[in-house]
Structure 1
Amino acid sequence: MKPIRWRFLFMVAAVFCSVATWLLSAGKNAAAAEKNESAMTERVRIHDLVVYAYENNPAIQQARAQWKSVVENYRVITGYPDPQVLVTYFPEPIETRLGPQDWTATLMQVIPFPGRLSKAGSIVQADAQIARLNLDKTIRDVIVSIYESYFELLYVQEAVQVAEKNLELLRHLRKVAESAYALEKTAFIDVVRAQSQQGQLQYDILLLEELAETEKARLNGILSRPPDAPFGRFAERPVQPIDFTLDALYRLAEANREEIRIAEAGVERAGLQVELAGYEYLPEFRIGVFYSSIGDPEVPVAPPDAGRDAVGVQAGFSVPLWFGKNSGRTAQAQAGLVQARANRTARVNETFTGIRAAFFRLQNAGRLMELYSVQLLPQAAKAMEVAESWFQEGQGSFSDFVETQAVWYNFNLSLARARSDYGKSLARLEGLVGQSLSTEGGVAPERLGKETP
């Protein structure tokens, strides 16, 4: 009984350890998920969004599963075909010298020509490389989409602040206009203008808030969260200048962009396909064993070896006789190689065109930021001060004061939009180039989104 008792206790301990390990792992996963979710409702940083999407985005999960599926296909393609077993039973046995032949069994194995399976395996390896690059491309596209939504929400966040600040100022101006009108220091049209400006600002704030909700729903879709899941305040992100020429960007893209690397892997795969097509002219081999069951003969005088079963060895090979079919397969593979090379050239041209357009938008946004922050906004603020001073001294009209205030407001919105466009253009340009271009450290892994093996 003692051995049975110890065996039972050992089984209970093993089950307990397994359950404890599972519960601990589940607790850690739940804690990590709760931590990631809490980061979304506090001060939202771009890094938190990228990590959350990397773990939850369904497009990334699909691409990752596809890559693993292709990797597992290597063992399928490089393995020998399954052996074939053929059994024949004779209801009316065939009489032979040694006795009636009751049944036969054949075991047959097909062996491809040496080198054919390894060449097919090389094609699968090329497919796995393409699937891996497609995973990197999917992660990159998701990250670029996150950056676009993030900078758009930063714009809305800043625009709402500017509009609310301007609305507070305009309410004060409206009271000033009403007081001045009561003292017959300004015209009634000035009061109406202040009121209409206030109404326009209230509409702008409402529009910006609805735009924010729409963009948050898009970002939640990328993160695989409910459309109305809340976000905290988005952390400000400084402008990140780059120091690359167009030629340098072209070289980086040709070496790093996933679409170009996928096309290059496609050229390599097509070349391997051409080599594999050459094996269509070579035979496949078959080897096997044959067994025949012989019964006892019904004769008066049986031979000494009567009823002895027969065993044989079989060997054969296929004859690639239909040269037209084999030539067609080779021509098809050659056409695939030409197609793959043309596709690679098309991807390079497409990338260079996209880089030129994104680089222009980035530079233009940078110029606009400098124009508004260095020249136009200071001038608008100075003009607003002068218009206010002139109005108080009776040298200017209230309409001029309101007009300069509206110009200052629009310039602030334009500066916020230029910052947002710069961030989005930089993200798109980095997606086209395939690596981080900013001088700030620690950004490249987020922007690239490449998994480590």
Structure 2
Amino acid sequence: MRMRALAGLLSCALAAPVTAFGADSGATEGTALGADVRALIEHARAHSPAYAADRAEAEAARERVEPAGALPDPRFELELMDFTNTMNGRSASVLPGQVGETRYRVVQPLPGWGKRELAAEAAEAQARRAAAMRDAGWAERAAVIEAAWLRYYAADRELALARDALALLQELETLALARYRLGLLPQQTVLRAQREISEQRLVLLTREQARRGVVAMLNGLLARAPDAPLVPPTDPAPLPDALDAGALFERARARSPEVLSAARGVDVARAERARTYRERAPDFSVGLTYNRPDEGRPSWDLMFEVMIPLQQGSRRAREREAELMLTAAEARREASADAAVGELGAAWARYGGGRDGLRLLRESLLPQVLATRDAARAALVGGQADFDSVLEAERQLIAVRERLLQTEIETRLALSEIEKLSGETK
């Protein structure tokens, strides 16, 4: 549920309309966030209300360990014998010492042998599960923040690409005007170049609005105001050359945050089963009574009480419940491990495909479209090509650069998913 809520927050922020904010690229002292994802994650660790709630719950579970193994509080009893004073002929009274006999009793309940230790072990298991749930929730939040930062990085680079594309089209407009003045190009060519520039300005405006929207979304994840400034993102670290698939899949099955949380659930179920079986042993109580009669000498009584475990039907039902809860917890752990391996396999495939796509784009397609663009411009200057050929070559170059950026972002998102599933903490 926590994962679905965070994913819904991310998608809603992306889809929400954005109003005009102040400058989002500047930074004042104390707000210089946005350059890298590590600083954003540390900021969220210190200021996230959701993480603070998970941390408080885990600490509260830890505080329950000590009282779970403590003795129950003793009871004090006051008994007024013959408070109607029938035996001595006086009027009725509820005051100690003014009745037939006053008894002061202290009773200390004593759990059966081993029950306190098992209660402490169960509370310890609950505390470990709460800590595992806290860590799993934090891993998911960190992954969401990293994904949001990568979208911020993509929006910033898309904005830069749109500006570069506008500059390229303006250069073409200048070239077309020069050739139009020489009578080498018709007026329609100049008008088309100007129309392309107007369309690119609209694209630039869309990119600026998208960047503001991503800034608002990222600030929301960081518990900041929507228009809080973020500095421009820097280039992330290079993608790793190779990943050990076998080691990653083994770690996902054993160290994925969800798997660890499910494993702690198994520990809790085992502890609760042990406690349930220990309920077959009786509990005890000891008491000390001081008797103070109205007439006569005071005396002391010592009491020993034992619980008789007669309700075997209900006790056996609780034992069967504990066994089934343990079976369910173990099955849930296996299901979590299978799900983690499946998700890791999908992320691994996306990462491998992204790396191959980046290699082809950088080493093959991008040099080809650059060469085509340069050749088309040279041909236009020499009068051997028309303006449409040059414009199409510029469009191809812009499209390849945007595709290269999107492929890089998708590959980095897959890498972030791999790191989360393999239990790498952030």
Normalising by structure 1, report the TM-score: 0.81
1:230 aligns with 2:229: yes
Matching residue of 2:279: 280
Give the partner amino acid of 1:359: W
Aligned CA distance change for structure 1 residues 293 and 357 (closer, same or farther; 3 Å): same
Give the partner amino acid of 1:312: D
1:366 aligns with 2:355: yes
Matching residue of 1:30: none
1-side partners of 2:114 and 2:187: how far apart?
Answer: 94
Aligned CA distance change for structure 1 residues 42 and 122 (closer, same or farther; 3 Å): closer
Match of 1:70 among 61, 64, 67: 61
Match of 2:84 among 68, 92, 98: 92
Q: More displaced, 42-51 or 392-401?
A: 42-51
Aligned CA distance change for structure 1 residues 242 and 355 (closer, same or farther; 3 Å): farther
1-side partners of 2:334 and 2:196: how far apart?
Answer: 55
Give the partner amino acid of 1:234: P
Q: More displaced, 424-433 or 185-194?
A: 185-194
Aligned CA distance change for structure 1 residues 266 and 42 (closer, same or farther; 3 Å): closer
Identity of aligned residues (%): 23
2-side partners of 1:43 and 1:355: how far apart?
Answer: 28
CA deviations over 1:408-448 (Å, ceiling 9, x no partner): 0111111111222222221111001112xxxxxxxxxxxx1
For the Cα contact (< 8 Å) 2:348–2:414, is it kept in 1? Answer: yes
- How far residue 315 of structure 1 moved from its aligned partner, in angstroms, is 0.6
1:312 aligns with 2:304: no
1:233 counterpart SS class:
coil
Alignment of 1:347-366 (within 5 A): 347-366=336-355
1-side partners of 2:28 and 2:413: how far apart?
Answer: 25
1:431 aligns with 2:420: yes
For the Cα contact (< 8 Å) 2:132–2:264, is it kept in 1? Answer: no
- How far residue 187 of structure 1 moved from its aligned partner, in angstroms, is 4.1
2-side partners of 1:242 and 1:288: how far apart?
Answer: 73
Q: CA RMSD in A?
A: 2.1
Matching residue of 2:197: 198
Aligned CA distance change for structure 1 residues 39 and 208 (closer, same or farther; 3 Å): farther
Matching residue of 1:391: 380
- How far residue 199 of structure 1 moved from its aligned partner, in angstroms, is 2.4
CA deviations over 1:104-128 (Å, ceiling 9, x no partner): 2221111110101111111111111
Matching residue of 1:117: 116
Matching residue of 1:266: 265
CA deviations over 1:24-53 (Å, ceiling 9, x no partner): xxxxxxxxxxxx983643772222212211
1:44 counterpart SS class:
coil
2-side partners of 1:38 and 1:328: how far apart?
Answer: 63
For the Cα contact (< 8 Å) 2:34–2:40, is it kept in 1? Answer: no
2-side partners of 1:118 and 1:242: how far apart?
Answer: 51
Matching residue of 1:82: 73
Matching residue of 2:32: 41
Q: More displaced, 125-134 or 81-90?
A: 81-90
For the Cα contact (< 8 Å) 2:282–2:309, is it kept in 1? Answer: yes
Aligned CA distance change for structure 1 residues 37 and 397 (closer, same or farther; 3 Å): closer
Matching residue of 2:8: none
Q: Which residues of structure 2 form unaligned runs of 5+?
A: 1-26, 89-97
CA deviations over 1:228-262 (Å, ceiling 9, x no partner): 10011212123221522433211011222121112
Matching residue of 1:52: 43
Q: More displaced, 315-324 or 86-95?
A: 86-95
CA deviations over 1:348-402 (Å, ceiling 9, x no partner): 1110111011111112221221121111111111101111111111211100000
Give the partner amino acid of 2:83: P
2-side partners of 1:410 and 1:161: how far apart?
Answer: 14
- How far residue 179 of structure 1 moved from its aligned partner, in angstroms, is 4.1
- How far residue 210 of structure 1 moved from its aligned partner, in angstroms, is 1.5
Aligned CA distance change for structure 1 residues 222 and 170 (closer, same or farther; 3 Å): same
2-side partners of 1:37 and 1:109: how far apart?
Answer: 64
2-side partners of 1:413 and 1:270: how far apart?
Answer: 52
Aligned CA distance change for structure 1 residues 238 and 286 (closer, same or farther; 3 Å): closer
Aligned CA distance change for structure 1 residues 116 and 127 (closer, same or farther; 3 Å): same
2-side partners of 1:221 and 1:117: how far apart?
Answer: 46
2-side partners of 1:84 and 1:69: how far apart?
Answer: 27
Flag the structure with higher helix content. Answer: 1
